[in-house]
Amino acid sequence: MFSMVTRFMNYGQQTIRAARYIGQSFVITLSHTNRLPITIQYPYEKSITSERFRGRIHFEFDKCIACEVCVRVCPIDLPVVDWRFERDIKKKQLLNYSIDFGICIFCGNCVEYCPTNCLSMTEEYELSTYDRHELNYNQIALGRLPMSVIGDYTIQTVMNSTQSKIYKEKSLDSRTITNS
């Protein structure tokens, strides 16, 4: 009889402990209902990229001197630079410049080491296609600037809480008052 009472007490203690755990998890669940959702509805809402985001490469044909530094510093020798030497002006003339973004690892070495700054990283990250041959951009496609996410009025931009803090700090820093 004594063993039956102790089992009943253990059963009661286990039931109370289980109810407490369920209650604690329910309190945690209710605390999460007051938070804003983290996910965004992608095609209609886009997050703003950071200032140092490495997106698609923008190329300015007029600035390029065909030095091929971008090819030498690229870990996969990706940019294709075609040029010919003009004897009358004694300089290289650029004929064709292309980058295959299906292979590019977006390391940014070409942009960093370009002596004439004809390469720059954009905020464009939507490079998906159904055919991988469409990812091979020539100098004409590389020269097009992408539409800014901020400038597109059809898309609602979403800022992360950390990004909004950074923008608030920048706006406060820009409003310095000088006594004259």
Which residues are known binding-site members for [4Fe-4S] cluster? 64, 67, 70, 74, 104, 107, 110, 114
Q: How far apart are CA 128 and CA 42, in angstroms?
A: 14
Say how many C-beta atoms besides its own lie within 10 A of residue 160's C-beta: 12
101's CB contacts (< 8 A; 6+ apart) are 56, 127, 135, 136, 137
Burial (CB count <10 Å: 0-12, 13-18, 19+), residue 114? buried
- Binding site residue list: 64, 67, 70, 74, 104, 107, 110, 114
